[in-house]
Amino acid sequence: MLRFAFAAALSLAVSSHAFAQGGPSAQDSLPEPAPLRREFRGVWVASVANIDWPSRPGLSTCDQQAELIALLDRAVEMRLNGIVLQVRPAADALYASKLEPWSYFLTGEEGKAPSPWYDPLAFAVREAHARGLELHAWFNPYRAHHPAIKSAHSKSHVSRRMPSYVKRYGSFLWMDPGEPSVRRHTLRVVLDVVKRYDIDGVHIDDYFYPYQEYSGGKVVDFPDNASWRKYRRGGGRLAREDWRRRNVDLLVRELYHGVHATKRWVKFGVSPFGIWRPGNPPQVTGYDAYARLYADSRKWLREGSVDYFTPQLYWPIAQTNQSYPVLLDWWIGENVKGRHLWIGNFTSKVGPARDQGWATSEVLEQIALTRARPEATGNIHFSARNFFTNPDSLVDRLTMGPYADLALVPASPWIRSAPLATPTLRLAERDTTDSLAPVRVAIRRGKDAPFLWLVRARSDSSDWSAQVIDGTTTAIDLPPRTRHVRVSAIDRVWNESAAAKLEVPPARTATAVEAGVGGR
Which tens digits make up the pLDDT trace of 235-272?
A: 999 999 999 999 999 999 999 999 999 999 999 999 99
Average pLDDT for the chain: 92
Q: How confident is the model at residue 28 (pLDDT cuts 50, 70, 90)?
A: low
pLDDT mean over 58-84? 98
470-485 average pLDDT score:
95
What span, in angstroms and rounded, lies between the C-alpha atoms of 38 and 290?
A: 32
Residue 143, strand partner residues: 174
Q: Using CB atoms within 10 A of its CB, is residue 163 exposed (0-12), middle (13-18) or buried (19+)?
A: exposed
Average of pLDDT values for 64-78? 98
Whether the CA torsion 473, 430, 462, 421 is positive or negative: it is positive
Say which residues have a Cβ less than 8 Å from residue 399's Cβ, sequence separation at least 6. 77, 78, 79
Predicted confidence band of residue 213 (pLDDT cuts 50, 70, 90) = confident
Instruction: Name the phi and psi angles at 268, rounded to 5.
Output: -115, 125
Q: Is the pLDDT of residue 3 over 60?
A: no
Which pLDDT band, with edges at 50, 70 and 90, does 432 fall under?
low
Residue 218, pLDDT score = 83
What is the predicted pLDDT for the residue at 336?
A: 98
Q: What is the pTM of this model?
A: 0.92
Q: Do the Cβ atoms of 267 and 201 come closer than 8 Å?
A: yes
Per-residue confidence (pLDDT) for residue 215, from 0 to 100: 87
Q: Which residues contact 364 (CB under 8 A, 6 or more apart)?
A: 397, 398, 401, 402
pLDDT band at 508 (very low <50, low <70, confident <90, very high): low
Structure confidence at residue 519 (pLDDT) = 34
Q: Does residue 486 sit in helix, strand or coil?
A: strand
Q: How much of the chain, in percent, has pLDDT values that exceed 90?
A: 87
Does the pLDDT value for residue 21 go beyond 60? Answer: no
Residue 120: is its pLDDT beyond 90? yes
**Residue 436 confidence (pLDDT):** 84
Strand, helix or coil for residue 393: helix
E strands present in 264-303:
267-270
pLDDT band at 2 (very low <50, low <70, confident <90, very high): very low
Amino acid at 194: V
